[in-house]
Structure 1
Amino acid sequence: MIRCNENHWDIEKDMPDVTGKVAIVTGGNTGLGKEIVRQLAKRGAKVYMASRTESRALSAIEELENDHPEIKSKAGIVFLQLDLTSLASCQAAAKQFLEKETRLDILINNAGIMATPYELTKDGFEMQFQSNYLGHFAFTHPLIPLLVETSKDPSTSVRIVQVSSMGHNFAKDDVSFRSDLAYSETVNREFGTPWARYGQSKLASILFAKELSRRLADHRIFSSALHPGNISTELNRGTLQSYPWAKPVFKVIDLFLITPYKGAISPLYAATAEEIEKNDWRGEWFDPLAKHASPSKLAQNAQLTQDLWTLSEKIVLEKCGTLS
């Protein structure tokens, strides 16, 4: 477990005002995502809560507005339908957003699942790989032109944040994203353990952040990935499906997990802190809490990064017929 440095950046003291900015947070209706939405909305951003289940999202929005009445007097929180297990839904969500907004300052790809039993989505891909990475790729890709356009506004600093995990270290050394191989030989491999599949998905999110940074190097857009910390949220539901016998163990582990508030420090730092741009941190990795660090060697593999982007474009074109 990574020790948390709690002295570097404080939400209450250091997070800037974000009035006038537009943000999207995927998986924003619960846990870490909900806390991120709370803090952005409190400070004036218009926040799109991207979530699969409308009733849960609307309930979360109502709760946040009741807890913080000032949110209603500011830009507020808006529900955005997004099902990461459907690539078509991901593109539809991006299209819906683009029809409503003329700017996008902050995109936080937070939603995810962890160590779930082996299962394929209706698109035909390993559930964790699509939920944690591929769906976010399909959602983000159509938003890139608007992110670029927004970056021309001198009053903003555009951020793209991938909430990854130290679990990317569980990825097998022979992981492959080659587009000339069958999916059964790449992203749909079982690997013998749900943790290795989780590692593959979180490795992919880091590689995604790096490739976005490379492709957007000429723009005022700062892409990053991070491990928010070991947080007490609903994320362990999938793990308990894989290991139902471990429920008593997880009850003990939960006593040592950090709160969603603390977990939100690193994502909010990457999304708003001035020093990200000051230090020109592009495609960088952050440990909790808001500590600039380095991911695994696999996560710094340039060939894997290029292979993943090529494969992702191939998949989305194959399943949706378009990248936008």
Structure 2
Amino acid sequence: MGEKKKEGLGWMEWLRGWMYIVYEMLFQRIMASHLQSPLHLPPVNHLTCIVTGSTSGIGREIARQLAESGAHVVMAVRNPKAAHDLIQNWQNERTGVSLPLNIEVMELDLLSFDSVVRFADAWNATPRPLHVLINNAGIFSIGEPQKFSKDGNEEHIQVNHLAPALLSVLLLPSLIRGSPSRIVNVNSVMHYVGFVDTEDMNVVSGKRKYTSLIGYTSSKLAQEPGGFGLQVMFSSVLHKRLPAEAGISVVCVSPGIVQTNVARDLPKIVQAAYHLIPYFIFSAQEGSRSAIFSATDPQVPEYCELLKADEWLACAYISQDCRPTNPSEEAHNIETSHEVWEKTLEMVGLPADAVERLIEGEEVTCKYGACKG
């Protein structure tokens, strides 16, 4: 008889996950006490960096600090006017600095796969290399009813995992031009209590009652190097599928527990708790450090290659104190990770061999448009 398919986290896994989250909140500031804020950066004048969701919170800090350190930053945002206003404010604050910030704005709506494909096509059509893609944009609509994008996906799963996964794959030609280059996925400590059911990623079957917490934690598990659990699993398979000669590193990062716009969706009592314990919770500037570190530190690609050579199950995961750590136990599940990979490519309309074909410079046609290598 075949082994019964796992349908959720065991209570011990769930308890361990929550204990880890509480521990992280209480001690993250102590663990990261060796870090400067803002983070001291190596020379980045040669880097071109795309940062999604860069008009607020952690993304805004990432974009600003990279730009002020000399990088060419592309703010990939849903609201271009807000981005242009921010850039103007940043320029105005730089009194006495002759060189303007090297920032451009491009429209990107992660709730629309068509928008993702248009963005990738527009960028790939230029000869410019891409050195760093930072998938920062994310949502966590606590307490909200289940919502679906026009593409038919639960919103957390689309914004936190599917759209960044599609963007990462479609931008591979430009990342190869910029090699050595990096994909940095901003994940969440909440993936430790996430579970991925590859047969019900949109949580519509009725097997699990939908809550915004399930949508968020599951999305982060997949993404994590994607929701956020999905992100991790997808990233791990992508990391393995990219040949060393492509020169692309894949990293997932935890920003820690941060006071950002996510808190605006929290219940009033939880918002009150956020304000009562400011010592424990990072500012957006502090929360941006792990992503900026992963995007710029010269040792990160070496670490990624070491993991690949050792056939490590998960991709590189950098914690809020800018040190390598392990993602959740569930993120190491090889079988589920490959199921997540296959299901994700299917849901975003890409062929199973999209990565291999794009690396070879071939054209890949997806359901939402064409992307040429």
Contact 2:203-2:210 at 8 Å conserved across structures: no
Contact 1:191-1:197 at 8 Å conserved across structures: no
Distance 1:182 1:248, change over 3 A: closer
Out of 48, 60, 69, the residue aligned to residue 34 of structure 1 is 60
CA distance in 2, matches of 1:310, 1:144: 18
Structure-to-structure mapping, 1:30-179, within 5 angstroms: 30-68=56-94, 73=99, 76-116=102-142, 117=144, 118-151=146-179, 157-172=180-195, 175-178=196-199
User: Who is 2:346 aligned against?
Assistant: 314
Question: Cα RMSD between the aligned structures?
Answer: 2.6
Count residues with an aligned counterpart: 311
Determine which structure has greater relative contact order: mean sequence separation of CA pairs < 8 Å that are 6+ residues apart, divided by chain length: 1
User: Who is 2:260 aligned against?
Assistant: 233
User: Who is 1:269 aligned against?
Assistant: 293
Out of 223, 239, 245, the residue aligned to residue 205 of structure 1 is 223
Amino acid at match of 1:176: D
User: Who is 1:154 aligned against?
Assistant: none
Secondary structure, in 3 states, of the residue corresponding to 1:291?
coil
Secondary structure, in 3 states, of the residue corresponding to 1:292?
coil
Distance 1:261 1:244, change over 3 A: closer
Secondary structure, in 3 states, of the residue corresponding to 1:222?
strand
Contact 2:53-2:136 at 8 Å conserved across structures: yes
User: Who is 1:284 aligned against?
Assistant: 316
User: Who is 2:15 aligned against?
Assistant: none
Secondary structure, in 3 states, of the residue corresponding to 1:293?
coil
Distance 1:300 1:259, change over 3 A: same
Contact 2:141-2:262 at 8 Å conserved across structures: no
- Deviation string 1:51-82 (CA, Å, 9 cap, x unpaired) is 10122111122122223368872561111101
User: Who is 1:193 aligned against?
Assistant: 211
CA distance in 2, matches of 1:281, 1:49: 31
- Deviation string 1:166-215 (CA, Å, 9 cap, x unpaired) is 1002213xx2224xx795567x9764422121111101111222122111
CA distance in 2, matches of 1:250, 1:189: 33
Deviation at 1:20, TM superposition (A): 2.1
CA distance in 1, matches of 2:95, 2:74: 18
Distance 1:36 1:247, change over 3 A: closer
- Structure 2 gaps, min length 5: 1-21, 225-232, 308-314, 351-365
What is the TM-score with the length of structure 1 in the denominator? Answer: 0.87
User: Who is 2:328 aligned against?
Assistant: 296
Amino acid at match of 2:367: C
For the pair 1:22 / 2:48, whether they are aligned, the reply is yes
Identity of aligned residues (%): 27
For the pair 1:260 / 2:284, whether they are aligned, the reply is yes
Secondary structure, in 3 states, of the residue corresponding to 1:23?
strand
Q: Which has the larger radius of gyration?
A: 2
Secondary structure, in 3 states, of the residue corresponding to 2:168?
helix
Distance 1:217 1:8, change over 3 A: farther
Distance 1:70 1:85, change over 3 A: farther
Deviation at 1:42, TM superposition (A): 1.2
Between 279-288 and 200-209, report the one with greater CA deviation: 279-288
Out of 249, 263, 277, the residue aligned to residue 273 of structure 2 is 249
Secondary structure, in 3 states, of the residue corresponding to 2:222?
helix
Amino acid at match of 2:147: E
Amino acid at match of 2:92: N
- Deviation string 1:211-240 (CA, Å, 9 cap, x unpaired) is 2211113232211101101111111223x3
